[in-house]
Amino acid sequence: MLIKHRKASDVLGSEITPKSVFDDRRRFLKTAALAGAGLAASALPSLPAYAARTKLDGVVKSKWSAESLPEDDPINSYEDATSYNNFYEFGTAKGDPKDNAQDFKTSPWEIMVEGACAKPGKISFEDLIKPATLEERIYRFRCVEAWSMVIPWVGISLGDVLKRFEPTSDARYVYFETLLDPEQMPGQRAPVLNWPYKEGLRIDEAMHPLSILAVGMYGEVIPNQNGAPVRLMVPWKYGFKSIKSIVKIKFQKAMPPTSWNEAAAREYGFYSNVNPMVSHPRWSQASERRIGELFKRKTLMFNGYEEEVASLYEGMDLRKWY
Amino acid sequence: MIATTMSDTATVNSAARPQGKDRAAKKRDPMVWVIKPAVWVLCLAPLAWLGWLVVETIYFGGRGLSANPVEFINRYLGDWALRFLLISLAVTPVRILTGWKQVVRVRRLLGLFAFFYVVLHVANYVGLDQFFNWEAIWEDVIKRWYITVGMAALLCLIPLAVTSTKGWIKRIGGKNWNRLHKLVYVSGAAACLHFFMMRKGLQYEPLVYAAIFAGLMLVRAVEPLKRRFSA
């Protein structure tokens, strides 16, 4: 795998940016302290994954790199994307994931692959990533709560990964599951949702070139609070579809259950495509607040990826299949 | 305030206040010189803290308002509106449970502060969040149940705030005034429900607030029964 552990002499891109240092004294202190600890413990191979922000090497540009990013979609700051998000396994407030996920253990990590495929089995995170190319994918991220960001993910094509397990003709859907570990994930000690977190995609959605498994952000290993070590990223759907810290992938014939659909079926459908025309019982989805902006902006059909994905839903009544 | 009963006021006036309205006695009254100012300071403290977070964010690059300040302010003010509503609803139970009759004299102040935070909460929603997009606001009120319920909680409080003066008590008469101010119970229930509905999934925090509200109502309900049986 192309993950290089950080040496004390290495300079992170983010360290050149003074904003991240000024912005957050806490992180600065933590990084400084851990860099010191890293020096002392550099001989130990089992340094926890959170010990340092680790740069990812060999990330290649993609069709969705900065060059093709619309001008009015500036990338959100690292600080915004890593301190404000939903990851109910670590608490329901937006700052909880960052506060509670720092000690989350993401290595070793295994993913169980099962169901309608020729090569099921357990696969380590490293083996999952090794054969793939790490690509930079800068996507708009639209939360169902009507806020959005632009985030530079580093990921691998989900379709390429799934093909390695040789799904059969019965594999009409792909089911994903998050780790269930209430000891490490304090949010799971309360029945906020029906744990473990469950999500799913139709197989053609999963095979779509936009769909990725994200393992990094901002050129670095993905922080724990954002779904380390590996999460889904399907940018034309509301954020909750992009399941985090995946431990199970299952190919199946039937439409899989999803956690939010189980919690409130009328509010969260299986598809949950970003759609300004279909309002949610809690939020009008016609507009959104881009983090960093005061005024709301209009929400785009399929979060602006209409050209790429509209054909997946041809002939479907998107009001019915929300 | 909000549900001050005339009998309460009367008891307090005759029993606890010093006889004769000489100014010296009033000056020694700790309610006037210690407790009420302290209530003012404590009630304004959450707003002062929010003000500081805004200043820190704008001038010192602080991140205390999170990446989404509009949402943060909305929730912060909503939390405090509900807390002050429950605090003002706790005055009568405190009197019942401790027998400290003087406490009733801060009820109006606490109730008006609750209303103050409710108004700020809604003003933030209307002004900053929706930016006076009345069409979108109306759509929210009629389509999104948690907002409908929240608006109902606000509407119940408006006549209570308006009639919180002595003049109004006289004008509509103590009995009617008492009856009117029972609306605070409806508002409190609606506010708890609003909070519960607004959270996604099954979350404990709104249930804690609802349990506190239920407890405060229970103390009120049990009191007249106890009186009847002990009499």
The pLDDT tens digits for B54-82 are: 999 999 989 999 999 999 999 999 999 99
B132: left (phi over 0), alpha (psi -120 to 50) or beta: left
Residue B1 predicted with pLDDT over 70: no
Whether residue B161 contacts residue B115, with contact meaning beta carbons closer than 8 Å, is answered with yes
Q: How many residues does chain B have?
A: 231
| Residue A274: Cβ within 10 Å count | 27
Averaged pLDDT score across all residues of chain A: 88
Q: Pick from A83, A190, A296: which is nearest to B67 by CB?
A: A83
d(CA A233, CA A81): 14
d(CA B137, CA B130): 7
Averaged pLDDT score across all residues of chain B: 89
Mean pLDDT of A186-195: 96
Mean pLDDT of A206-214: 98
CB pairs under 8 A between A and B: 64
d(CA A75, CA A82): 13
Cβ A292–B71 below 8 Å, yes or no?
Answer: no
Give the gap in angstroms from C-alpha B115 to the nearest C-alpha of chain A.
25
Q: Pick from A22, A263, A291: which is nearest to B67 by CB?
A: A291
Give the gap in angstroms from C-alpha A283 to the nearest C-alpha of chain B.
7
Q: Pick from A76, A281, A295: which is nearest to B131 by CB?
A: A295
Tell me chain A's radius of gyration from C-alpha atoms.
Answer: 19
Q: Pick from A84, A92, A192: which is nearest to B68 by CB?
A: A84
Please name the residue of chain B whose CA is at the shortest distance from the CA of residue A94. B66
**Which residue shows structure tokens 């249930």?**
B207
d(CA A306, CA A284): 20
Mean pLDDT of A190-207: 97
Going by their DSSP bridges, the two strands A246-252 and A110-115 should be labelled as parallel
pLDDT confidence tier of residue B225, bands split at 50, 70 and 90: confident
Mean pLDDT of B18-42: 78
Domains of chain A as residue ranges with CATH: 56-313 (3.90.420.10)
Mean pLDDT of B200-227: 93
Nearest Cα to Cα of residue A147 among B154, B152, B136, B67: B67
Cβ B63–A83 below 8 Å, yes or no?
Answer: yes
ipTM of the complex: 0.83
Give the gap in angstroms from C-alpha A81 to the nearest C-alpha of chain B.
8
DSSP alpha helix (H) spans, chain A = 13-16, 18-23, 25-40, 78-83, 96-100, 125-129, 158-164, 203-206, 259-263, 306-309
B68 contacts in A (CB within 8 Å)?
84, 94, 147, 289, 291
